[in-house]
Structure formats: C-alpha cells, structure tokens
Amino acid sequence: MHWPEDVAARYRAAGYWRAETFGRMLGDLAARYGSRPALVDGASGARWSFRDLDERADRLAAGLHAFGVRRGDRVVVQLPNVPEFYQVCFALFRIGAWPVFALPAHRSAEISYFCEFTEAVAYICPDEEHRGLAPDTPALVLGQLPEADPVELPEPSPGDVAFLQLSGGSTGLPKLIPRTHDDYIYSFRASAEICELTPDSVYLCALPAAHNFPMSSPGVFGALSAGAASVMAPDPSPGTCFPLVERERVTITALVPPLALVWLDAAANGGHDLSSLEVLQVGGAKFSAEAAKRVGPELGCTLQQVFGMAEGLVNYTRLDDPEEVVVSTQGRPISPDDEILIVDDDDRETDHGHLLTRGPYTIRGYWRAEEHNKIAFTPDGFYRTGDIVRRRPDGYLVVEGRAKDQINRGGDKIAAEEIENHLLAHPAIHDASVVAVPDPYLGERSCAYLICKGEAPAKGELRAFLRDRGIAAFKIPDRFEFVDAFPQTAVGKVSKRHLRERT
C-alpha cells in the first residue's frame, strides 16, 4: 500500500516530504499566526483564530481519547461546513486516529458500510437524527462533542496514514483512499503556492468540506498552511455565498461546473460587491470552454481549471497562463515528480488515451482492497485513473472522456455498479444497466436501463425503493428506461456505449 523505500527516500531528498505531521503543523501555525483568523463560520459569523483552533483541537483530542479513541482507530466523520469540521480533523490527527470522510449527502447505506468496513469506533454526525444511520456504532453529535483538559499524546509518524478519503468509485462499493501526513501536506502546501496564497488571502469553502477539492486544492488545509483565513459557507448557492464574499472580502473559492454557471448567471443580476474575488477555481468535472470564457469578463477574476482526484494527482492551470490555456485545458500537474503516462487499450504509450500516474502524493493502493488494487494499479505502481486525456506539446492535459464505469453528475461521482446492485434487489427487475446521458447543465445525468421480469414497476415506486435502501439522493437515477434486452459487445458484455447512444 505504501511507496517503496527508495522512492520515499527520493521524495524526502527532493524536499516534498518534510517529516511534518498535521498536529505539529497546527501548533507551528498557532505560534506564528496566533490571533489572526483561521476559520469563520459563514452562518453564525463566529471567528476562530489559529490559537483557538489549536486549543480547541487539543481539548477535543483529550475528550475523544477519554471516550476511548486511540491511535490507528477509524472514526467516520460526517459534518457540514462549520469550523468544528476542522477541529474534529485536527483532534483525530493529534491522537493518530483516522477520520473517514463521508459526504453530507450520504445516508444509511453508505454510512453503515463505512462504519462496518473500517470497524469504526465512533461516528461523528451533525445532529440526533443522523444517529440512526449507523445504529451499531457509537455516535457523537456536533454541539455535544466531548472536550477535556489537554493530555500528552504521542505524535504519529509523518509516514503514517492520516485519514481515509473516499473514491468516486466505479465498482459495487466505494473504495477508501489512505492519505499520509507526508503526502497530503505536500499536496496542499504546493497547491497554496501555485494559487499564490498569502496570510491576506481569504478562502471560501463553498463545496462540501469533506470533498478532496475544497480540502486540499489548496482548500482549507492549504489556506491554513499559508496563514490565510477560510470562510465555511453553509451551502454553495449565490444567495448564501455572495453576501459572504462581500462581507469577508473573499479572494479565492472553488466550485464544480454547474455551480460556476449558477454563479455567473446570478452575478449578472448584480447586487453584491464581488470585487475582492481574485481567483475562481473550477473542477471536479469538465468545464466547457464556452463557460470558461465567461468567467473573466463576467466575474472580474482569474479562472483556474482544476483536474484532480482524491487518489492524488492534481492539475492546475497557472494564474499567469494565457487565456487560451486557461479556457481550453485542465492544467498541468503540481509536482515535477508527478509522472504522467498515457497509454492505449494495449498499454502502449501514446499522447491521447488512458491516464496513468505515479508521484509523491498519489496513493499506491486502496485500503484493504487487495484484489481491486491488482486492476487499479500497474505492477510498478501507476494508478489507472480511468480518465481519457490528451497531452498537448506544452505538457497541459485536456480531459477527453472516461473509461471507468462511473457517472460524473456535475462533480458528484456515481459508481454505476453500485446502483445496478441496488436495482437488482428489486423483485421486478431482471437486469439493470446505469449509464451517463449528456445534460446541458450538469454535464451528465444518470439513466437506468432496466429489463423487467413481468410488468414494469412505476418510476416513482423505483425512486422510493432506492430511497428506502438508504442511498444518497444524487445517486438515484434521473431517468428510467425499460427495454427488452441490452446491446452487447463482441464478447457478449453489456455495451454501455450503445446504451448511451440510444438516448
């Protein structure tokens, strides 16, 4: 699961891995930036300085330790965008326990799976109602988290796993991504540099805080590492965020493409002073060149395209790149040691095909997924991203498509097989195939093709069935189509390409 020792030594020698841990990093930041604002609660206006965050993390670490949380334990964390999200992260990092980051949209199917699979010792959730999502795991509710006088805790090693992030996934069950202190700290520090963050920058966390993009590209961790403040927005709508941009003088934020479109349209109506905004990052799904062209003129800020993944590799357009590059590419990697390998279907090198990557912050394997790792990684450690890209002569990447069996619904990732398995549990369904269909707003929506055993169930009944199985709402297919048979490939597999072309 880890990097070979000679490779790790190379990353240390190159200065990427600096033997830091999250816990120590926060202590150093508190010493350096003290009373400067670290986190602002967008809803209540509460402000936490670097020192507050440091002290609160220590008190919560002591409380969680007294509760029984120990080094190496897993704790499923499902919290909204509030400063406490980061208090919980740093408290667990100080203990050496691993947060498992669930999204706010996740329901009982996902949460109970994370708790069981990771053998979590606790589930930290937003309110009492969430307790029921994981009835067998002790729940700790926001607002009543245990705090105590700080205790001495042995520091984890920089090479240890710090947390488990979720994979977008293409198989039946989501895979968990082990990120270490060393590799993750490198990725967001380097990102903060690329985004030119300074202690005067103000980052707005508009996307769900648990997602890798607003967490680390450069996200809240990157902002903290640069001594900058982060404003936690309760939701990403212009109605919520525009007043926050104006009030807090936000300089940079990150959005997925559909939200960027909503922001562009709302900005045209005026009413808020967005002049502090210097950089709008857009990523998570392909941002069309037409929309990209609108950002500069209509929002008065620099667009940065971001093509990243929770498994590691993140590409950015740079802030001083010419417009053509910013509008029509998805950037180039963070690190000179990010290795990019593009291959055809037979693993021969090319400049337009499957993207494989290896580097100082890209994992070498999913957690407890030995069989899947044999497919998702090459024997020499390259991660098969499942993305189809073109590399331009200048080294910039253009995302051209996807080979993985996934739907990217405006940045929300849906593993087709996961939904097919839920549909197959319905007594009237003989076979199911879930595919992406184009959508002008979300980029893609999901469509379930179904072969029924007898009479087709009503679509509303199918939606209710999936809801009752406890899956996140964004995973419920946008469309259902009933068919007699699926088109097949030459080797007799379901041809999803032909299904997609039917719509």
Residues at the interface with ligand J2J (CB under 6 A): 168, 212-213, 216-217, 283-286, 305-310, 314, 330, 385, 387, 399, 402, 408, 413
Do residues 47 and 40 lie in contact, with contact meaning Cβ atoms separated by under 8 Å? yes
In this complex, which beta carbon is closest to ligand J2J, that of residue 59 or of residue 354?
354
CA atoms within 13 A on the CB side of 114: 30
Min dist. Cβ of residue 290 to ligand J2J (A): 15
Nearest distance, CB of residue 245 and ligand J2J, angstroms: 20
Torsion of CA 225, 51, 47, 158, to 10 degrees: 40
Peptide bond into 360 cis (omega under 30): no
Q: How far is the CB of 328 from ligand J2J (least distance, A)?
A: 12
Q: Which residue number places its CB atom closest to ligand J2J?
A: 308
Q: Would you say 158 or 283 has its CB closer to ligand J2J? A: 283
d(CA 97, CA 80): 20
Q: C-beta of 331: minimal distance to ligand J2J in Å? A: 8
Instruction: Please say which residue, 218 or 227, places its beta carbon nearer to ligand J2J.
Output: 218
- For ligand J2J, give the closer residue by CB, 64 or 309: 309
**How many Å apart are CA 179 and CA 165, to the nearest integer?**
7
Whichever of 95 and 327 has its CB closer to ligand J2J, that residue is: 327
Shortest reach from residue 148's CB to ligand J2J, in Å: 34
Closer to ligand J2J by Cβ: residue 58 or 444: 444
Residue 294 near residue 267, CB atoms below 8 Å: no
User: What are the start-end ranges of the E strands in 279-391?
Assistant: 279-283, 302-309, 312-316, 332-333, 339-343, 352-358, 383-391
Cα–Cα distance, 209 to 68 (Å, whole number): 26
Closest separation in Å from C-beta 502 to ligand J2J: 23
Q: In this structure, how many other beta carbons lie within 10 angstroms of the beta carbon of residue 337?
A: 15
How far apart, in whole angstroms, are the C-alpha atoms of residue 155 and residue 168?
A: 31
Nearer to ligand J2J, 426 or 496 (CB): 496
- Of residues 112 and 217, the one with the C-beta less far from ligand J2J: 217
3-state secondary structure of 95: helix
Which C-beta is closer to ligand J2J: that of 102 or that of 399? 399
Nearest-angstrom CA–CA distance, 278 and 197: 11
Beta bridge partners of 161: 180
Q: Which is nearer to ligand J2J, 258 or 283 (CB)?
A: 283
Report the distance separating Cα 409 and Cα 247, nearest Å: 31
Q: How far is the CB of 266 from ligand J2J (least distance, A)?
A: 22
Least Å distance between CB 71 and ligand J2J? Answer: 27
In the complex, what is the shortest distance from the CB of residue 414 to ligand J2J, in angstroms, rounded to a whole number? 11
Q: What is the CA radius of gyration of the chain?
A: 22
Contact 365, 1 (CB under 8 A): yes
AA letter at 477:
P
> Least distance (Å) from ligand J2J to the CB of residue 182?
17
CA separation, residue 72 to residues 17, 157, 164, 168 (Å): 21, 11, 11, 24
The CA distance from 496 to 126, in Å, is 38
